[in-house]
Amino acid sequence: FSLEVRDNGSGMDEAMVELVLDPFFTTKKVRRVGLGLPMLSQAARLTGGEFSLQSKVGEGTVVRAVFGHSHIDRQPLGDIAGSVTALILGNPDRDFVYTHRKNNQTYVLDTRELRETLGDVPLNHPEVLTLLKNNIREGIAELDEPEGGLDSG
């Protein structure tokens, strides 16, 4: 199992990359909470996996965590559809491309395509969020089916 997050934001210099991996550092001014990247790094490494963070000022950042699939310390995945939907809800003006691969099959959700289809309806509209969450759940569930669908025999 692996998780990769890419952004095309402002990026970080080497000093900032080191700081964000310190569990006692946060860039937040209001709610002084952090721990996200250090906890992700630790969770991956506890399963025999690995963690990397690459960033370049002006280009963006790539965070990658690889987990040992059958390791006893690997935490359950949780509600992926709810998490992706929450990201979209909290960042309605940003675009996301969520890709889920399993059994040599792929599910992709691209908010740019959704915006084109929805026109003036915002992504954070309650009905859109419900449809999104259901679509993600169904898309991931279809990856558990044999390649070619249920009728392939």
Q: What percent of the chain has pLDDT over 90?
A: 53
| Cα 8 off chain centre by | 15
CATH superfamily, with its number, for domain 2-66: Histidine kinase-like ATPase, C-terminal domain (3.30.565.10)
pLDDT for 153 equals 45
Q: 3-class secondary structure for 42-61?
A: HHHHHCCCEEEEEEECCCEE
Kindly state the average pLDDT of the residues 48-53: 94
Cα separation of the two ends of the chain: 27
Predicted TM-score (pTM) of this structure:
0.74
Taking a C-beta distance cutoff of 8 angstroms, is the pair 114, 92 a contact?
Answer: no
Domain boundaries, the chain: 2-66, 80-142
Q: What is the pLDDT of residues 32-47, one digit of tens each?
A: 566 689 989 998 999 9
Taking a C-beta distance cutoff of 8 angstroms, is the pair 27, 17 a contact?
Answer: no
Q: What is the pLDDT of residues 113-150, one digit of tens each?
A: 999 999 999 999 999 999 999 999 999 999 887 765 55
pLDDT for 76 equals 75
